[in-house]
Amino acid sequence: MAGVAKVSNAQHDLKALDRVRPMSWWVDMADSSLQLLVHGKNIADRTVTLDYPGVHLIKVNKVENPNYLFIDLVIDKGTRSGSFDLEFSKQGTKTIVYNYKLDQPDQRPGRNQGVTSEDLIYLVMPDRFSNGDPSNDRIAGMKDQSLNRDSMYDRHGGDLLGLMNHLDYIKDLGATAIWCTPMIENDMSSASYHGYAATDIYKIDPRFGSNELYKAYVEKAHKMGLKVIKDVVHNHIGSQSWIMQDLPMKDWVHQWPTYTNSSYRDQPVMDIHRSVADQKIMLNGWFVPTMPDLNQNNPYVDRYLTQNHIWWIEYAGIDGLRLDTYPYNDPKFMSVWARAILNQFPHLSIFGETLVTTVAEQAFFAGGNTVNRGLDTHLPGVTDAVLKDAIYGFLNDKEGWVDGSNKLYATLSLDFLYKHPEQNVVFLDNHDMSRFYSMIGEDFNKFRQGMGILLTMRGIPQLYYGTEILMKNFSNPDGLVREDFPGGWNQDTVSKFTAKGRSEKENNAFNFIRTLARFRASSPALRAGKLMQYVPEDKIYTYFRYTDTQSVMVIVNKNDQMKNLNTNRFKESLQGYKQATNVITGSRLPDITSLSLPANSITILQLQK
């Protein structure tokens, strides 16, 4: 497949005015400038005028493709909300009028709250969670008409309404924030369910719902005390997107003489010994043939993406953003982008997907690390894949000088490389990797240990849907880890959304997570406390989460037999504390000078003076 995207002439059925993006805007934004992308048949032949107090037409930019105009506006501070007519005139033809709306920003409390270490994120793939509206399973005119729950690549019918119907389940589990894989329109011929090949970034895919329903979802979540994270993709779009069918200019996407895939190697981005050619392939190569790589050095692409994200955050009241494929983006663009977003929404949370292999690589992308960069990414947090690997090493590997529990200890010892390690998202699985329960050999003791570490560790914990009911499988291929949540479809014979529909072991898993999640929500030490860890000894790893007023002690015993632990070694952390309550069992320990640790266990103690 060639990697060259041609700038086409207008399609024969292209409307005189096809799109204006953003469709609307707001007054009194942090950045008073606005650039409108206008698409229509030979729209560049027309003269643009407007008349509205406080709105100034600065420049009309014509580009390679006559079907586009990029209109630069400035909106003065204090401009009143309302609407004005954008007029596109041409002698001898009828004037085209677009009524452009300017709203007041929504200042209601509880919007754009931010997601912090006080939260627990629940990750959902909407197509695989619950089908609340079967009438939108297929939409006439869309390219992918599949609907087959027996196929891992076809659409299954899950949607926004299905998610909204089960917000009470997510809240009852103890989650406080929801991250959904993208629900933006993916009008692709196949595999359109996952959402990462956008065809219109201003539109919710109608098989999920509508823009209005998405906004209603956010508002309902907020009323229930749940925050909402939106998954956004800077790096690429879908090859069948409307803009790829009629590119504004050739360099809207990265062009190559023949198709060139990204190397998927992040090292050339940071390597001081790198080859420029290697760096270019990493950053400018296409992610896959169906996902063209956006040229973020193109100023029109830059504004188009940034304004789109601001539009969604303000329109829907979103609390956080998860950034897909973060290392593949142009570093300078992402730095400027982050400043623009946080300038408008200072409380918004942002975390970037960095599926890399070392702490140094993750820290390179995190905000505050300017060594050898010449820039600050201003990225508050990253997905902590290295800590995930260390937890797996802790659970699965034999003990060694740098293996087993020592791997987890050593990984956390490198937190000095981050400016804010507490803003990293800690996870054990997601939609792109093998499920946690399978990766630990379906060992329930390891499940409790891993979940216990996840929910008591520094950072922002994230659960993948179904982990709490022991859903399993390996990601070869990925579709196997994207199975439907049992009970999300009317025809399902069993519903795991209820205790009655779950097995005894599934309820044990659910209740274990629920107990810890609820304790975490009430614990200042776990929500925002510092971390102190001790070098593992005798296959026992101990750490403390603490504030000035509370301390939680976590002990993981990897031995196949019960161990007695003399706590004198931890007097630095135990000073003033003489007793404790076992968070998991609820039992009181009147004396903590010696602790009895069950085999292959995790013990979590709320210390008391």
> Which residue shows structure tokens 């955050």?
313
Give the list of residues 6+ apart from residue 328 with CB closer than 8 angstroms, or none: 235, 262, 282, 283, 287, 293
Rounded to an integer, what distance in angstroms lies between the CA atom of residue 573 and that of residue 452? 20
Q: Give the side-chain half-sphere CA count within 13 A for 439.
A: 22
CATH 2.60.40.10 in the chain: give the residue spans.
Answer: 19-103
Give the Cα-Cα-Cα angle 586, 423, 317 (nearest 5 degrees): 100
Residue 5 has pLDDT above 60, yes or no: no
Can you tell me the mean pLDDT for 124-137? Answer: 98
CATH 3.20.20.80 in the chain: give the residue spans.
Answer: 121-244+294-525
> What's the CATH fold of domain 530-608?
Immunoglobulin-like (2.60.40)
Residue 483 has pLDDT above 50, yes or no: yes
Query: Which letter does DSSP use for residue 575 in this model?
Result: T
CATH 2.60.40.1180 in the chain: give the residue spans.
Answer: 530-608
Per the residue annotation, which of 231, 324, 415, 468 is the catalytic one? 324
Residue 10 has pLDDT above 90, yes or no: no
Say which residue, 13 or 592, is predicted with more confidence.
592
Please give the pLDDT value at position 8: 44
Rounded to an integer, what distance in angstroms lies between the CA atom of residue 452 and that of residue 449? 5
Confidence of residue 393 (pLDDT cuts 50, 70, 90): very high
19-103 to CATH, choices 3.50.50.60, 2.60.40.10, 3.40.1180.10, 3.30.70.100: 2.60.40.10
Q: 122, 173 in Cβ contact below 8 A?
A: yes
Q: Does the bond joining 299 to the residue before it have cis omega, within 30 degrees of 0? A: no
Q: Does the bond joining 524 to the residue before it have cis omega, within 30 degrees of 0? A: no
Residues forming beta bridges with residue 545, ordered by sequence position = 531, 552
Rounded to an integer, what distance in angstroms lies between the CA atom of residue 46 and that of residue 66? 10
Please give the pLDDT value at position 173: 98
Residue 1 has pLDDT above 70, yes or no: no
Average pLDDT, the chain: 96
Q: Tell me the per-residue pLDDT of 29-86, one tens digit each, with 9 for 90 and over.
A: 999 999 999 999 999 999 999 999 999 999 999 999 999 999 999 999 999 999 999 9
Per the residue annotation, which of 353, 429, 483, 484 is the catalytic one? 353
Q: Tell me the per-residue pLDDT of 488-501, one tens digit each, with 9 for 90 and over.
A: 999 999 999 999 99
Please give the pLDDT value at position 573: 98
Rounded to an integer, what distance in angstroms lies between the CA atom of residue 482 and that of residue 432? 9
Confidence of residue 13 (pLDDT cuts 50, 70, 90): confident
> What's the CATH fold of domain 121-244+294-525?
TIM Barrel (3.20.20)
Whether 127 is catalytic: no
The H or E element that residue 203 is part of is strand 200-204
Q: Which amino acid is at 436?
A: F
Residue 2 has pLDDT above 50, yes or no: no
Can you tell me the mean pLDDT for 464-482? Answer: 95
The H or E element that residue 304 is part of is helix 299-316
Confidence of residue 103 (pLDDT cuts 50, 70, 90): very high
Please give the pLDDT value at position 9: 44
338 three-state secondary structure: helix
Give the list of residues 6+ apart from residue 18 with CB closer than 8 angstroms, or none: 39, 40, 41, 67
Q: Tell me the per-residue pLDDT of 296-335, one tens digit each, with 9 for 90 and over.
A: 999 999 999 999 999 999 999 999 999 999 999 999 999 9
Q: 293, 261 in Cβ contact below 8 A?
A: no
Rounded to an integer, what distance in angstroms lies between the CA atom of residue 500 and that of residue 358? 43
Rounded to an integer, what distance in angstroms lies between the CA atom of residue 89 and that of residue 69? 13
Please give the pLDDT value at position 478: 86
Please give the pLDDT value at position 374: 87
Please give the pLDDT value at position 373: 85
Can you tell me the mean pLDDT for 21-35? Answer: 98
Confidence of residue 12 (pLDDT cuts 50, 70, 90): low
Rounded to an integer, what distance in angstroms lies between the CA atom of residue 448 and that of residue 442? 11
Residue 3 has pLDDT above 80, yes or no: no
Q: Tell me the per-residue pLDDT of 203-235, one tens digit each, with 9 for 90 and over.
A: 999 999 999 999 999 999 999 999 999 999 999
Q: 461, 455 in Cβ contact below 8 A?
A: yes
Whether 537 is catalytic: no
Tokens encoding 367? 């905000």
Confidence of residue 372 (pLDDT cuts 50, 70, 90): confident
Q: What percent of the chain has pLDDT over 90?
A: 96
Residue 578 has pLDDT above 90, yes or no: yes
Confidence of residue 7 (pLDDT cuts 50, 70, 90): very low
Rounded to an integer, what distance in angstroms lies between the CA atom of residue 421 and that of residue 423? 5
Pairing of strands 425-427, 460-464: parallel
Residue 280 has pLDDT above 80, yes or no: yes
Tokens encoding 449? 């240990």
Residue 477 has pLDDT above 60, yes or no: yes
Rounded to an integer, what distance in angstroms lies between the CA atom of residue 99 and that of residue 105? 19
Q: 246, 65 in Cβ contact below 8 A?
A: yes
